[in-house]
Structure 1
């Protein structure tokens, strides 16, 4: 079995696939890119090399990244040519099951039998895609986020047949590319989009009910709880606020909205045990010594102050400027 990924094929050269190819090539891996036609692939390569130079000039890529991408990124005239000798194949074609199945069949017919095959699907479960993959033990979801050159998180999803030994190999590849990875279960939407779409759904309900405008909802999200999210996830944020506080607030939501906003059982259990988060030293994120909690508070305060400074330095987004 492959123990280290050195060569990669990215199938699909749009903005998502192209960004993944840039990221892996910048990290020193040899990457071959293929799209729907040789002409489309060549056009994508021209764009990606131009963008890499622009990003480096703007300080968005580290010095030397454009040269590394140019040295490590090549193209192939077909899917078959691209995948023939590589260690890892990342499929990044449209989110249509029939298209993905067709592409996987072509990949499997030409790739090495031990090549690891990943899909960048954002919502389709592994079990709906694996039937099109020969030797499905080498198949898993490796889900980057858009824009791929700049978003560090990647979801990893195994199917029932996936060999667990693949996980550290793929994680090592991602780590070398400066990416954070998290393994989640094989369900529709995984974690990222399940959370993201729930937020969008509730935001739409708020607008439809006349509670706030889309503009004002966006202001609240980005300047309140969204302001915290680059540093902490929802469980850490709740621990710092106090789980007893959250439990009391959920009572208000449950009274107003019914079961869909009822107090989660996990939260109820922690509160019943007297585990209120940072104030008691134990909560969603485990048990923490007082000195660690003091460091956490200091980090939080510094992080939020620095974020405010960065936003002031960057200035408002064009959407805000239009107001």
Structure 2
């Protein structure tokens, strides 16, 4: 797959528009393909709405300093919307196709199956589904070796992370090609197994439900909980990943904290998974032993810590919370 392939989006809704902005910003021509039969007037309205939102998004990015107002028109010109009955030419010319229709299995299978017959033999096809496993869709695809899930986080044009989930039939070379394509437009792709919730939705569902539960239980107000998330939870995990943070403090700390919370709150949802106790028994508790979830052998731990702490200081400055020391100069 070349670096500047044409992109096609099946569907001109929120996800298709977000992907169109991301790729057009990076120099790609993008065609959003309407997948629903409409009258000429209905299609004209959809087209105007879709391109209008694309223009509004680019205009907002200009106000945020990511581009100039003079850049908006040329960027919008890279994006087009076509009616369902005119899809063959756009799809046959596409190097990568993203499906973004509603989360209905049969609808996705229908749309993906039809598109897979119109694209070239090596065109990569991806579903952007956040809930449906790749292998539940791949049976509808002609040549499923070039099919996989590519899950974007909204807003797709801003959030760097994109989750890639290959299926049983997906060619590993295709995974590498998609990673390279996404990296080429400034995204940070991660690969995960075909499992419900991928990575981020699965973790954030637990966190969001627990935050809502704490409001329900009267632990703290919504405002206080969100403040805690911004300046504690989110602050640390913007620098250290969750598993890296376990290693940073020590897996043994998580083990004992989990046991206490499980008993004090009377809920198995706080029980640590077996891997935590297994790592403890094997002496893999993190930085202190040179290995945990990550391998720190051969690493200059002092330099590593200094870099992570510097990143936290940079975040303090970003939030306007970095202050000089108070010194007694008398």
1:26 alignment partner in structure 2: 25
Query: 1:209 Cα deviation (Å)?
Result: 2.7
Deviation at 1:42, TM superposition (A): 3.5
Contact 2:127/2:149, CA 8 A, preserved across alignment: yes
Q: Distance in 2 between matches of 1:125 and 1:227?
A: 32
Native 8 Å contact 1:80 1:106 kept in 2: no
CA shift for structure 1 position 84: 2.7
Indicate if the aligned counterparts of 1:142 and 1:157 stay in contact, CA closer than 8 A.
Answer: yes
CA RMSD across the alignment: 2.3
| Farther off after superposition, 146-155 or 20-29 | 20-29
Helix, strand or coil for the counterpart of 2:31?
Answer: strand
Within the alignment, does 1:172 sit opposite 2:191 as a pair? no
- Name the counterpart of 1:41: 47
Is 1:152 the counterpart of 2:160 in the alignment?
yes
Q: Are residue 271 (structure 1) and residue 271 (structure 2) matched? A: no
CA gap of 1:294–1:66, structure 2 versus 1, over 3 A, is farther
Whether contact under 8 Å (1:125, 1:189) holds in the other structure is: no
Give SS of 2:218's match.
Answer: coil
CA contact (8 A) 2:291 2:297 kept: yes
Number of the residue aligned with 2:228: 220
CA distance in 2, matches of 1:156, 1:64: 34
Farther off after superposition, 134-143 or 298-307 = 298-307
Question: Which one of 251, 257, 262 corresponds to residue 254 of structure 1?
Answer: 262
Q: CA contact under 8 A between 1:33 and 1:41: conserved in structure 2?
A: no
**Larger deviation: 51-60 or 65-74?**
65-74
Partner of 1:316: none
Q: For structure 2, which runs of at least 5 residues remain unmatched after alignment?
A: 322-330
**1:81: how far off?**
4.5
1:306 equivalent in alignment to 2:314: yes
Aligned residues: 311
Partner of 2:249: 241
Aligned to 2:15: 16
The two structures have a TM-score, normalised by structure 2, of 0.86
- Name whichever of 148-157 and 223-232 sits farther off: 223-232
Contact 1:4 1:169 in 2 (8 A): no
Aligned to 1:72: 78
Counterpart selection for 1:111 from 119, 140, 151: 119
Say which one has the larger Rg.
2
On the 8 A contact 1:154/1:181 being kept in 2, the answer is: yes
**CA gap 1:108/1:176 in 2 versus in 1, 3 angstroms:** same
Q: 1:64: how far off?
A: 7.7
Q: Quote the residue 1:207 is aligned against.
A: 215
Q: Which runs of 5+ in 1 are unaligned?
A: 314-323
State the distance in 1 between where 2:99 and 2:230 align: 32
Contact 1:92 1:120 in 2 (8 A): yes
Deviation at 1:133, TM superposition (A): 1.7
Q: In structure 2, the residue corresponding to 1:279 is in which secondary structure?
A: helix
How much does 1:13 deviate? Answer: 2.3
SS at the partner of 2:288?
coil
The structural deviation recorded for 1:312 is 3.0
Which SS does the other structure have where 1:59 is aligned?
Answer: coil
Within 1, Cα distance between the matches of 2:219 and 2:63?
44
CA 260–131 in structure 1, closer or farther in 2 if over 3 Å, else same: same
What TM-score, normalized to structure 1? Answer: 0.87
Supply the distance in 1 between the matched residues of 2:93 and 2:151 (Cα, whole angstroms): 23
